[in-house]
Structures are given as C-alpha cells and as structure tokens.
Amino acid sequence: MTIARKSGARMAEEPEQRQSQRHRTLLGGKIVFNAGRSVLDAVVRNLSETGARIQTENALAPPPAFRLDLADGRSFECVVVWRATGSLGVQFVG
C-alpha cells in the first residue's frame, strides 16, 4: 500500500510505513514525563499495536520519549516519530 503525501505543490507517492493496522479512536489520555512530575492532556485519535496518533494542544511540548496513560487503564512507553501542528505520532517501545 502507498500513501500520497503532499510535498510543496506536488503529491509524491511514498510506501506505507506502518507495521500494523491502525484503528480510529477517541480515547482520553495523559502524556507523562519528567519522572511523573509533568503531565499533558491528550486525545488518542488512531491506535495500533505498534503506535498511535496523539492530539494535544502543543505537539512540541512532549519530550522525545514519554509514557502514555490511557483513560481505559492501558499504559505505553513511547518515542516520538513525527510532529505536526496539534498532533504527534508515536511508536510503542519496551
């Protein structure tokens, strides 16, 4: 599968990089870092076995690695793989 990604004024075909199927969600969550002393509110918009797309007020605020605590009780160690205005993509590690 390929995805079309906008690059300037042109669309370029790039191979799909996800390792598992993603599912649309609307899960509340917390981005936890700084040994639990810092917490940001987040909404998980897409979720797969290997990662997630997270919506947050300031996508530049989370550090490169953090814990994601979901409202349903699940918790994931994450590393950021991309950032955009208002959202970021993470890969689950560990």
The verdict on residue 9 lying in a domain is no
CATH number of the domain residue 62 falls in: 2.40.10.220
pLDDT, tens only, 43-91: 999 999 999 999 999 989 999 999 999 999 999 999 999 999 999 999 9
User: For position 23, what pLDDT does the model report?
Assistant: 81
Which domain range does residue 44 map to?
19-93
Q: Cα-flanking dihedrals φ and ψ of residue 8, to 5°?
A: 65, -125
The verdict on residue 7 lying in a domain is no
SS3 for 41?
strand
Number of domains in the chain: 1
The verdict on residue 37 lying in a domain is yes
How far apart, in whole angstroms, are the C-alpha atoms of residue 80 and residue 64? 5
User: For position 9, what pLDDT does the model report?
Assistant: 42
pTM score, two decimals?
Answer: 0.77
The verdict on residue 2 lying in a domain is no
The verdict on residue 8 lying in a domain is no
User: For position 16, what pLDDT does the model report?
Assistant: 54
pLDDT, tens only, 8-42: 443 445 455 656 677 898 999 999 999 999 999 99
